[in-house]
Chains A and B, each alone.
Chain A
Amino acid sequence: MRLEPIKSPTLVRKLVPPAIALISTVVIASLLAMVAGANPFSVIGLILKGSFGSQFATLETLNRATPLIFTGLAVAVAFRAKFWNIGAEAQLYAGALMTVLLGTGVLPWPSFAILPLIIVASILAGAIVLLVPALLKTRFGVDEVVTTLLFNFIFLLFISMLLEGVLKDPMGMGWPKSARIIPEAKLPRIVDGLRLHWGFGLAIFSAICIWIIQTRSTLGYEMRAVGLNKDAATFAGIPVNLVIVKTALLSGGLAALAGFSEVAGLKGSLTLDLSPGFGYTGIIVAMLALLNPLGVILAALFVAGIFVGADSMSRAADVPTYLADIMLATALLLMVLAIMLTRFRVVRD
């Protein structure tokens, strides 16, 4: 068999494969739930109910989507330029670290200036963490997939060291946990009394900014050109290495905002379980969004919905929560295949 590009795909061609991918994911998840002894027809309903079925559930899903929008954007920006940043987890923790370093009242700044300062510092911290793999790539040609992956392990150990050392909260009853940030460093809630913080607003705002950068700026054009064809970009006079470094700074900064928003909006302090793999899940979010910054918002809501919904489904139907991860992995693999099939036809030799 071989693949033949389709010149002008019909609407049916554009919609049917992704729809089949989505339906197949649901069917596979239902079958797996049946293996676990649950009623296969109730599983998806339970997940939907648990994720968007009530005001509480919906807000929980939006909260869970917030860090995923940031890490999804970080990955989308990087992957667009074919810079494979698999290290959003480390950059997330860099942002969270900066937030507790500056947010625990060490700064004699007026209260209105504290949050903006922390945001800028977090972005810088994440950018610097990703700068190292970016420079290793542009200077020495070291593959960034491996370095960013290994940095995740290194940075998490570094955080663990700080939490058991200098950053350890003396009031923390011996737990490896940082002190709490002061109220001025907290992200306020969007509506009083409802558990949704302004991190969500910041995430939406970031997505729009990235969309503008990608579609309306020279940098966006250069990043796309580098991603499509490095040699052609070089030939066109684009400073490829510089664009890669800029991409890395942007990507790292975005991932760091996820850490900032989790600490300043939700948790209030830094622990080692701040992120249940938001950095890695960001890759799924970005791919489901076809690397489109606005699509990242929708994809993050979808992924967060599955996680939150699976949590409550797991309690109700006694199915292991790992079903959520299986669903996401299946959705990811089937969706990249489906997207390819909207543009190519499989021809038998």
Chain B
Amino acid sequence: MEIIDILFTASFWAAAIRIASPLIFATLGELICERAGVLNLGIEGIMVAGAFAGWMAVYSGTGLWTGVCVAMLVGMLFGLLHSTLTVPFGLSQHVVGLGVTLLATSSTYYAYRLALPEVTSPPKIEAFQPYEIPILSDIPLLGPALFSQTPLTYLAFVLVAVVSVVLYRTPLGLAVRAAGENPAAVAAQGLSVTAIRMGAVMVGSGLMAVGGAFLTMSAFDSFFFEMVNGRGWICIALVVFGSWRPGKALLGAVLFAAFDALQIRVQQTSLGTHIPYQIFLMMPYILSIFALILMSRRAEVPAALMVPFNKGER
């Protein structure tokens, strides 16, 4: 019964939306890459780099939004590296992606050690504060859950709509989707598959980095090692779960986050004290695998995902 009670508290849903926010950014980022035909396994490392870059920028005195831009820029740089190797050179997207994750993670940790050699606990910044949207935040249950969040969360939801519209309602979106479905047709139209794919990977990587930055600049106010903790991999599962569609991916992210918020709360109930806490921590990962099993039969994978395009070949 306690579990039912939890589901009807506003704080629970507020937490779910907060947990979902970084996942929404990064899932959208991965979705854009994959829609253009590139699997980006650099996501985990790019989130780490974004988390550090945004936080470090603010710590060194820039404004919060400048910090977000710095994170985005760093993400785009790693996206440039990833896409240069995977698109024009057509290297294995699995290997390059894992390599980028390792490079981004280790260079972030290296930079952290150099920037703050002597600290035992990382310094804090003035993070984004919740902004209550007038009138809307007064709606019972829904108001505190949806409309008393930080500006970055609102941005995440706005971006879902923007990415949807761009992907499905503009020539640019058509070109991106076509690059992932039938690159030869894109080339026949006189467009550059290389440019489209590289652009998509860079924009997508930028969003992943903002997802990471959400952790250090909105969810928490400090940078820790291991703070991304597999969220990037979860986002790859969420893209599949959402059948490569922004709206469904958003739904997946919120469901996942709700489950995550629920397991944290159940841990503190009388039921939770009898079960090892590791079982609760496992749940999000197990849930992701089940979601993949359920969705994989119906999923419409972009036809040219992971297929390099080399113009000379026929």
Contacts and interface: CB of A to CB of B under 8 A. Distances in A.
B179 to A, nearest CB: 16
Interface in A303-325: 320, 322-323, 325
A326 B292 CA distance: 33
A121 to B, nearest CB: 24
Contacts of B281: 157
B233 A157 contact: no
Q: Is chain A's binding surface mostly helix, strand, loop or mixed?
A: helix
Given A153-B230, A158-B282, A142 B293 contact: yes
Contact of B88 (A1, A86, A165, A333): A1
**Tier of interface size on chain B:** 35 or more
A332 interface: yes
A287 B282 contact: no
Contact of B292 (A86, A143, A153, A330): A143
Contacts of A164: 276, 278
Contacts of A283: 95, 98
Given A140-B293, A340-B89, A146 B99 contact: no
A145 interface: yes
Contacts of B292: 136, 142-143, 146-147
A337 B91 contact: yes
Given A2-B312, A322-B109, A150 B99 contact: no
A333 B106 CA distance: 14
Contacts of A329: 99-100, 102-103, 106
A328 interface: yes
Contact of B276 (A84, A165, A323, A336): A165
A143 B34 CA distance: 14
Contacts of A2: 310-312
B95 A142 contact: no
Given A161-B276, A325-B106, 12 more contacts: A86-B98, A140-B293, A141-B297, A147-B292, A150-B289, A153-B282, A280-B98, A320-B113, A333-B85, A336-B85, A336-B95, A336-B96
Interface of B: 41, 81, 85, 88-92, 94-96, 98-100, 102-103, 105-107, 109-110, 113-114, 230, 233-234, 236-237, 240, 276, 278-279, 281-282, 285-286, 288-289, 292-293, 296-297, 310-312
